[in-house]
Amino acid sequence: MFKVVKINYFCDMKLWAGFIILFLIFTQSVVSQQENKLFQLDQQDIVSGSENDKTEVVSASRTSKFLKDIPVTVYVITRDEILKNGYTSLVDVLKDVPGIKVSQPGSGIEGESFLMRGLIGNYYAKILVNDIPIQPSVVSGMPIADQLPVRQAERIEVIVGPASSIYGADALAGVVNIITKTSERPVWGQADIALGDFGASNLNVMIGGKVGKKKNILQYSFYGSSSKTEDMNIKYDIENLYNPSLYDSSYSFLQEPYYRGDSTAPEFGSLPVTSGQVGFSLKYRGVTFSYLKMWRRTHSSIGQRTDIYAYYDPSNYWGENIQRYAISYDKKWNKLTNKTTLSYLSYRLDNSSSFRMIFEGGDMGKLYKYSASDDILLDEVLGFNITSNLELIGGFSARFSGNLPKTNDLVEPFGKNLYKPFSTNVDYNNPLFGKFGINPVNFYNLAGFLQLFYDLGKITFVLGDRYDYNSLFGSKNNPRLAAIYKIKSNFSLRTSVGTAFRIPSLYYAYSSLAYEDNGGIYYRTIPNENLKPELFYEVELGLRYNNKKRFYSDIAFYYHRINKQITNSFVLLDPSSYPNATNEDNITSSYVNDENSQASLFGIQADFKVKNLINAVKLNGNLYISYSKGSEVLPSDFGKLDQYRQMPNWMMQFNFDLSPWNPLIFIFRNTLSSKWEKRFFPFPLEYMKLAGLPTTVKGFYTLDFITQYSISKNLNAFLNINNLFDAHYGGLDAYNDQTDLIYNPQYGRTFLFGFTFRME
């Protein structure tokens, strides 16, 4: 089977390469007949979009505003920056955003992950593509790999801080909006092809333009990508990380039927990851129809203990398919703007998704999972310019969702036809478990928001509120107040305060795990339909200075607190609801709101940019510094921690680029981090200290190197070397439970070489 897949993959590679070659020939012929902008990076290209006061941002207020008028922390990553830095995934981009910590890889289920001011962005940030949410309602957090249209983006807007007042749930940490490129030219395009070590390959293509005259103009864009790594470079530090005896000192894993390896090291196979996307957009007279299909597969064992999970079988993966259809209508009158969007989001977990365990069970240790969701969203946004300096923005949204949350472990792939969209009955019944782990559920969410934008020249105020009603989890309103004072044309002071909430994912509310035990059933995790939202608020004070010629700085001070955290805790099992239970003392686990848990964080985030430090070589530098100090009352009465889990006290990024001569540019990205507290505490804090159990992950330093050479006006060659010094270090914990490795190994040194063609 593996050989067939590999052959098919190389056939796909040839088809892609052939298509790109034809595309290059076609577009090059068009280019020769048109006046074109040089592809070669010049001084203007390497200026961050965040420092341009005339940069327009839509994510902060749902209508277009200049960056200088926005009283919250905003970072804009431009298309030139994306191409220059060789970004292919969203986490690649966020790695260079001040104060954001990333994990590559993160976990099999969620892919790559990132931390925004101490909050895991996959869970706590709203991720949009062209202003439309793309996170399915049934997943634990937004899955991230190379399947998002990053290379195809015109810009990526990152709003840091709570945004539930306009976006509702899942916007505690902020908003990330990927806005794909459009053009007023008749035809334009770009393509990338790259190869690297560990069987890495990356292909991207995008074609767009417009046809027609006057009002009868059709704007179009078509794009796609394919990314593959045959073996992730994370198999190192075997004795101190993967050694199964570190997790099971009794060595009982050696007696398990599906363990391979010796007493100190497991057997490894290849650990592949693949992802891709295809999409298009058509716009005619204010009506836009778009389609986006995304898929990814990641080896399911990454980040997990070797005395429980096996790493030798490359066929074990977590695979997903997400499709989004959307139609929107934009209309502008003299003082009124309107945008109406209707979208449908379909999510399907590949029914061959599986984990490979070392003990008896399932299909020779292979356990399958399945989940699905369908989300219909109607979103309406109206803007009314009451006067030249007073704007009222309002809107409402209605969402209807049908879900089959993650099933119990299955001994064979789930029959995909057994679940129909929006069905509350699934024709599935296991002889031992019955319908345990089969929890189809529908819900709806209704919301309305109102926001006032008042510009008094030197002072701009934003006041807003949003009310949400969820049929499963109740109602919540979230206000926000923000203001910016422009002391001078290039110097401003801003402040904001807001609340936010996170609706429990159905992944947690209906989490179900049980297995056969001595003729009965051991229920390890049971559903909890009574979960409530986590509550959050944040206060921020910021300073922004922009000397447009050479220097830019942005400094933000913030404090936030999160209450009623959702955590996996021990609970009593009701034998009448769960017959045949073999749980000792009827104790099991479930996801609950820990009423006593609380986490608070104070931080400083600084961003400095200098242009033309040495004009002769066009040397530019960026320095990002983040300092934070927090505390937590741990869930389950496990004690008080004088740190904020997973958030280092110090993080620093120092990036600089130079161009000794015009065709060539060198880029150096340095990242330095102090140690941080682990995410999962299996025992009370004092016990872990006495027992000498690890509670922290070591800090690290990495250097990424990028060089680009302009072969012609439209063709560039590039070389990306990530983790140049091959540092071995940890990222965010994979799953926040007892199955996690001591630390989550990050990619070692990798390189990617390729070509980028760009015609505009």
Mean pLDDT, rounded, for 559-576: 90
Q: DSSP label at 28? A: H
Is residue 53 predicted with pLDDT exceeding 60? no
Contact indicator for 168, 137 with CB cutoff of 8 Å: no
pLDDT for residue 26: 45
The domains found in the chain, sorted by start residue, are: 36-759 (2.40.170.20)
When the pLDDT of each residue in the chain is averaged and rounded to a whole number, the result is 89
The number of angstroms, rounded, from the C-alpha of 168 to the middle of its chain's C-alpha atoms is 18
pTM over 0.85: yes
pLDDT for residue 548: 72
Cis preceding-peptide flag for 431 (omega within 30 of 0): no
pLDDT digits (tens, 9 = 90+) for 435-480: 999 999 999 999 999 999 999 989 999 999 999 999 999 999 999 9
CB neighbour list of residue 681: distance below 8 Å, 6 or more residues apart: 634, 638, 688, 695
**Residue 497 structure tokens:** 């305060």
pLDDT for residue 759: 84
Mean pLDDT, rounded, for 288-310: 96
Mean pLDDT, rounded, for 354-364: 91
Mean pLDDT, rounded, for 218-240: 95
User: Closest by alpha carbon to 487, among 426, 446, 406, 543?
Assistant: 543
Mean pLDDT, rounded, for 385-412: 94
Mean pLDDT, rounded, for 530-545: 93
DSSP string, 706-759: EEEEESSSSEEEEEEEESTT----EES-SSSSTTB-SSEEPP-SEEEEEEEEEE
